[in-house]
A = this chain, B = another copy of it.
Amino acid sequence: METSKQSVTRSLSVTDWLRENILSGALGPGERLQEVRLSEHLGVSRTPVRAALHSLAAAGLVDYAPNRGYMVRDFPIPEMIDAYEIRGALEGLAARFAAERGLTRDQETALEAALAKGDKALAEAALLGPDFMVQFRDVNVVIHDTVLEAARNRMLAEMIRISYEKPRVSNRIIVTLEIRELERRHEEHHRIYEAIMARDPVRAENIMREHVAGVKLAMVRSLRAKSAQSGQTAPA
């Protein structure tokens, strides 16, 4: 197995390996995932490979046809852009639930710490250098995960996780690089926190939805930049 960490079972290891390779793009859309080939490549039998493929098919990362096997699913750009709308609707709902149900002491502390860390990172952006992006990414993850936890709904959490686990849609990735954008984004984090603390569900939902819409726009811009770039080298 080429992954560093070993999961409890081989099936889970293979699942992780496949997921990572699909999300990173190492396994491209349309690529057939044949059981024997994979099992030889990974040094396990067909059984855990089959289990992993089953899981990924249910998670929507690979397509399955009876008696024909699995292939990496196609993720059209328009659908990935839509995915941000879906994320926005779901995370908006999470913010609403959080505002309705309130935060635990720990969640409140975690959010405040994350907000403060973000403020600090933005203030020191210049001297932090490459570490800055790492820190800001962590802040982002903590804030969104905590709001989701505060929503207290397993099904919602699973759906948001599914919407994350697609190429190019993770909140683990900060698309934009402009500091101005990040400042606005973090300002929104503050406002989401305030709305939840004020127990204002409607406002919490609206801000969160707008927040994700902002991320979507940044991603669309970055995609356009990329396609313009590749357009120069390969116009077809």
Point out residues on A near B: beta carbons under 8 Å: 8-9, 12, 50-51, 54-55, 57-60, 66-67, 79, 82-83, 85-86, 89-90, 92-93, 97, 153-156, 158-159, 162-163, 166
* Stoichiometry, copies per complex: 2
Q: Is the CB of B67 within 8 A of A9?
A: yes
Given contacts A79-B154, A86-B156, A90-B86, contact A9 B66 (CB under 8 A): yes
Distance in Å from the Cβ of A145 to the closest Cβ of chain B?
Answer: 18
In whole angstroms, how far apart are the Cα atoms of A82 and B152 in the complex? 10
Distance in Å from the Cβ of A219 to the closest Cβ of chain B?
Answer: 16
In whole angstroms, how far apart are the Cα atoms of A97 and B82 in the complex? 9
In whole angstroms, how far apart are the Cα atoms of A60 and B163 in the complex? 15
Q: Is the CB of B93 within 8 A of A89?
A: yes
Q: Is the CB of A155 within 8 A of B159?
A: no
In whole angstroms, how far apart are the Cα atoms of A163 and B158 in the complex? 11
Q: Which residues of B contact A93 (CB under 8 A)?
A: 85-86, 89
Q: Is the CB of A82 within 8 A of B50?
A: no
In whole angstroms, how far apart are the Cα atoms of A58 and B165 in the complex? 13
* Chain A interface helix/strand/loop/mixed: helix
Q: Is the CB of B8 within 8 A of A67?
A: yes
Distance in Å from the Cβ of A96 to the closest Cβ of chain B?
Answer: 8
Q: Can you report 12 A-B residue pairs in the complex whose CB atoms are below 8 A from each other?
A: A8-B67, A51-B54, A54-B55, A58-B59, A60-B158, A79-B155, A82-B153, A83-B155, A85-B93, A86-B90, A86-B93, A155-B166
Chain B's closest residue to A169 (CB) is: B155
Q: Is the CB of B55 within 8 A of A155?
A: no
Q: Is the CB of B166 within 8 A of A79?
A: no
Which of A8, A79, A159 is most buried by chain B, counting CB atoms within 10 A of its CB?
A159
Q: Is the CB of A12 within 8 A of B155?
A: no
In whole angstroms, how far apart are the Cα atoms of A90 and B163 in the complex? 12
Q: Is the CB of B155 within 8 A of A66?
A: no
Distance in Å from the Cβ of A165 to the closest Cβ of chain B?
Answer: 11
Q: Which residues of B contact A155 (CB under 8 A)?
A: 60, 79, 82-83, 86, 163, 166
Chain B's closest residue to A97 (CB) is: B82
Chain B's closest residue to A85 (CB) is: B93
Distance in Å from the Cβ of A71 to the closest Cβ of chain B?
Answer: 15
